[in-house]
Structures are given as C-alpha cells and as structure tokens.
C-alpha cells in the first residue's frame, strides 16, 4: 500500500482482499467459468466441484454439514432470508420475535418491516458493557415467540454475546435461534452444534474475502428449520435461494475463512496486543472512555468516547493519518449518535465524540504508535481550540 494513503484501521467496515484469496479466485473468472448448475458438460462439472469444495470448507468451519449452507450475496441478504423466511414459515405458530437494540440495521430493519405486517418484536436492551442479560432474555420468551436473533459480535463495539448460553435457553423453550456472525466468522470459534444455533448469517468481506458473497447456515436436524425463500427462480440452493452461483466469489469466501481459521490463534494474540497497546496510550488522556466489555470483544476492536471534542471534527482531523470510523452515522447532513452507544447508556451529547478502531491483518506496531500519537495530538488541539 502507498505510504501517502492513511493507515487503514476500519476493518469492521470491510477488509482488504488477501492476495492468497485473489489467487484462488482468479481461475474461476476465466478458465473455469462454467455454470455450476450445468450438469451435462465439463465446464459445469468443474464449477460445481469448486462450489462443493467451498461448501465443505465453510460447513466444517462452523461444524455444520454442506447441505446446511445457503449461499447469499452477503450478511444483509442472509439476515433478511433468516428473519423474513422464518416469519413466513412459522407465523401460524406465533408472531413474536426477540432481538437486541444493538443489532446491525440488517437485522433491525427486517424486524421493523415484520412489525408493519403485524408481527410483534421485542428489542432487548443491553447492559452497560454491551452484553445481553440472559435472565432478561428468558423472561422475554413467550408461548408465541418463534425466533430469537442475537448477533455474535457487534460491528461497533466488538462485544461478543454468549452464544452457547443463548442457544441453550432458546432450545429449552423450543424457539429458533438466529445469529448474525458477519463480524465473527474467521475471527472467533463458531460451532453451530455446541452453541445450538439454528440459523447463522455469514459474509466474506470482513475476513479478507471478496465483497458480494455470504451465506446462511440453516439447520437440517434437531430441529429441521423450515425457511420460506425470499428469491424465487431456478430453485438453486435446495429452493431456498435462487440465482446462478457466483463461483469465483464462493471460492474466495471459502479460502478467506480457511485462512482465518488457520491463523486464528496467532492473529488473535497479535491483534489483542496491538489493541491493548493502542488503548494504553490513549487512556493517558483525561476524559476518554472505553465502550463495551474490556475483554469479551473482537480482538481487533477498540471503541472509545472522548469528552469535549466534536465527533466529526475529530474524524476529519485524523483522516490524513488514519481511516477510522467516527462511530456516529451521518443521515441527511444531521449527525446522529450511534444507536449502539445510546443503548449502552452513553449520553447523546455531541460533545462526546467516539472513535471505532478496527485493527486488522495488515496493521503493525509502528502504525499503532503513530495512530496513538496522532489521535492524542488531534484531541488536545481540538480541546485547546474550544477554550
Ligand atoms: C453485524 C453485521 N451484520 C451485517 C452486515 C452486512 O453485511 P454485508 O455487507 O455482507 O451485507 C455487517 C456489515 O456491514 C455487519 O457488521
């Protein structure tokens, strides 16, 4: 990467494609271009074999079987398929769903849409550290609850929800459990069997894979999940998601997840060191607060709120040095506090700026030290100018 460009520290938004992933993908754009559904010739067979190998790798990565993987265009589509598909299949049994206030909009918006159709949704609050209160979840389950959707790892504060404990509660009450694992796949261990997960949304581009590809895991045994398709057509993916399979992206997705698993232990240790090093340096400033649980979070995630600084001014001040997210969403020129930080009880006061650092595979110790020094200087400068 060129030295003139800002250091990339926004790995929750997306990650660069790993060179090894690109190498695995390239033959499937050109030489092996066949349609995996073409069953009568070698071009189709080659593509189908590559899809099957990829499906196997992804299934093993989450302790599922290949038939339980439904390829989608990403986690947004997987979340929509899971939530709307379950609502459509199970509405005769009940019309109540449970999710969290801190979910990604790709979960919240399908839930709001279902409300407009007459479903009821409980949006559970979280504790100040971002974790779900398990007793509160259990109390929220009703006889007409059909689905609980709780994310694996939060995209702003990186907090990891206790999936196995949630799965145990859901199955004891015979409620299906969906988790949005967009930020988690290839970064933390995921096991749909041990964690009693029924549906899980995945995406490739947060784990150094290509954009535009993801999957929904759909349990086939104990219980067998019924899912109404949201895209009708050629009946691909066992009828659950029609559309010609995107072979190069599927190959890249599997390669990216495979590399993520291979390197998980060493990379986790390295990222935690970088993350803690950054926090130790920033924490020397007065009026800076860590958002989310200090250790039960993604290894590369650091999210801080900073007093007496305006959020956008801070992000813009840092921009020549580093690409980070300012943690506030800009909607029609009006800066809104993040719904995740609001759910943690952080004041919506705009004098509280927040920064989300997403540290990744390409970041170095030297970069972290430069960012820390740059952030401290920018914050001090902005505070001076307010006096
Ligand atoms: C938690 C979470 N869910 C869903 C998504 C959407 O994923 P995709 O970009 O694959 O549609 C993202 C990423 O933006 C995310 O962080």
Q: pLDDT by residue (tens digit) across 133-189? A: 999 999 999 999 999 999 999 999 999 999 999 999 999 999 999 999 999 999 999
What is the atom index within ligand 1 of the atom nearest the CA of 12? 16
pLDDT over 70 at 227, yes or no: yes
pLDDT over 60 at 307, yes or no: yes
| Section 347-376 average pLDDT | 89
Q: What is the pLDDT of residues 185-214, one digit of tens each?
A: 999 999 999 999 999 999 999 999 999 999
45 part of a folded domain: yes
Domain identity same for 160 and 210: yes
Domain identity same for 56 and 98: yes
* Domain end residue (candidates: 261, 281, 299): 261
* Domain end residue (candidates: 261, 276, 306): 261
- The 3 state secondary structure assigned to the chain is CCCCCCEECECCCCCCCCHHHHHHHHHHCCCCCCCCCCCCCHHHHHHHHHHHHHHHHHHHHCCCCHHHEEEECCHHHHHHHHHHHHHHHHCCCCCEEEEECCCCHHHHHHHHHHHHCCCEEEEECCCCCCCCCHHHHHHHCCCCEEEEECCCECCCCCEECCHHHHHHHHHHCCCEEEEECCCCCCCCCCCCCCCCCCEEEEECCCCCCCCCCEEEEECCCCCCCCCCCCCCCCCCHHHCCCCCCCHHHHHHHHHHHHHHHHCHHHHHHHHHHHHHHHHHHHCCCCCEEECCCCCCECCCEEEEEECCCCHHHHHHHHCCCEECECCEEEECCEEEECHHHHHCCCCCCCCCEEEEEECCCCCCHHHHHHHHHHHHHHHHHHHHHHC
8 part of a folded domain: no
* Domain end residue (candidates: 235, 261, 287): 261
pLDDT over 60 at 2, yes or no: no
In the chain, the number of structural domains is 2
pLDDT given at position 312:
77
- Measured in Å, residue 202 CA sits from the centre of ligand 1 at 8
122 part of a folded domain: yes
pLDDT given at position 386:
79
pLDDT over 90 at 350, yes or no: no
5 part of a folded domain: no
pLDDT given at position 3:
57
Domain identity same for 316 and 274: yes
Domain identity same for 181 and 195: yes
Instruction: For residue 233, name the pLDDT band (cuts at 50, 70, 90).
Output: very high
User: Per the residue annotation, which of 11, 111, 284, 330 is the catalytic one?
Assistant: 330
113 part of a folded domain: yes
Domain identity same for 304 and 206: no
Domain identity same for 194 and 231: yes
Percent of the residues in the chain that have a pLDDT greater than 70, as a whole number: 96
Domain identity same for 152 and 232: yes
- Measured in Å, residue 114 CA sits from the centre of ligand 1 at 20
| Section 337-344 average pLDDT | 88
Domain identity same for 152 and 212: yes
387 vs 37: which has the higher pLDDT: 37
106 part of a folded domain: yes
Q: Pick the residue whose CA is nearest to atom 7 on ligand 1.
A: 75
pLDDT over 60 at 269, yes or no: yes
| 330 annotated active-site | yes
| Section 355-376 average pLDDT | 96
pLDDT given at position 319:
87
Task: Find the residues whose C-beta lies inside 6 A of ligand 1.
Answer: 74-76, 104, 106, 151, 155, 180, 182-183, 203, 214
What is the atom index within ligand 1 of the atom nearest the CA of 13? 14
Q: What is the pLDDT of residues 85-102, one digit of tens each?
A: 999 999 999 999 999 999
Domain identity same for 253 and 317: no
Domain that holds residue 80: 19-261
pLDDT over 80 at 333, yes or no: no
12 part of a folded domain: no
The CATH number given to whatever domain includes residue 363 is: 3.90.1150.10
Domain identity same for 256 and 268: no
Domain identity same for 242 and 270: no
13 part of a folded domain: no
Domain identity same for 246 and 285: no
**Average pLDDT of the residues of the chain:** 94
Say how many Å lie between the first and final Cα of the chain, rounded: 39
The CATH number given to whatever domain includes residue 128 is: 3.40.640.10
pLDDT given at position 328:
59
pLDDT given at position 315:
81
Residue 344: phi and psi, rounded to 5, are -80, -10
């Amino acid at each position: 990467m060129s030295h003139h460009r800002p250091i990339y520290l926004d790995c929750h938004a997306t990650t660069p494609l790993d060179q090894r992933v690109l190498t695995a993908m390239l033959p499937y754009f050109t030489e092996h271009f066949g349609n995996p559904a073409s069953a009568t010739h070698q071009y189709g067979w080659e593509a189908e074999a590559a899809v099957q190998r990829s499906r196997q790798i992804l299934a093993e990565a989450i302790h599922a079987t290949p038939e339980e993987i439904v390829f989608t265009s990403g986690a947004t589509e997987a979340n929509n398929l899971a939530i709307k598909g379950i609502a459509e299949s199970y509405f005769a049994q009940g019309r109540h769903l449970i999710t969290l206030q801190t979910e990604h909009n790709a979960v919240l918006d399908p839930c709001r849409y279902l409300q407009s159709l007459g479903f009821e949704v409980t949006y559970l609050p979280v504790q100040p550290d971002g974790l779900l209160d398990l007793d509160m979840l259990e109390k929220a389950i009703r006889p007409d609850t059909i689905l609980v959707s709780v994310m694996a790892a939060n995209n702003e504060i990186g907090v990891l929800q206790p999936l196995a404990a949630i799965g145990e509660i859901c199955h004891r009450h015979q409620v299906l459990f969906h988790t949005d694992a967009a930020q988690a796949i290839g970064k933390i261990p995921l096991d749909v069997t041990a964690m009693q997960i029924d549906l899980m949304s995945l995406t490739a581009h947060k784990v150094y894979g290509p954009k535009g590809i993801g999957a929904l895991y759909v349990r086939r045994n104990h219980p067998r999940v019924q899912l109404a398709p949201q895209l009708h057509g050629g009946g691909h993916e066992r009828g659950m998601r029609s559309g010609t399979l995107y072979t190069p992206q599927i190959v890249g997705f599997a390669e990216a997840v495979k590399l993520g698993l291979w390197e998980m232990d060493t990379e986790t240790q390295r990222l935690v060191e970088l993350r803690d090093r950054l926090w130790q340096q920033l924490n020397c400033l007065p009026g800076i607060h860590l958002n989310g649980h200090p250790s039960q979070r993604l290894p590369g995630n650091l999210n801080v709120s900073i007093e007496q600084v305006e959020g956008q001014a801070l992000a813009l001040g840092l921009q020549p040095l580093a690409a980070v997210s300012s943690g506030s969403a800009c909607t029609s020129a009006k800066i809104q506090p993040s719904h995740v930080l609001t759910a943690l009880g952080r004041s919506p006061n705009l004098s509280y700026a927040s920064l989300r650092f997403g540290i990744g595979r390409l970041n170095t110790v030297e970069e972290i030290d430069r960012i820390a020094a740059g952030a401290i200087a920018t914050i001090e400068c902005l505070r001076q100018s307010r006096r």
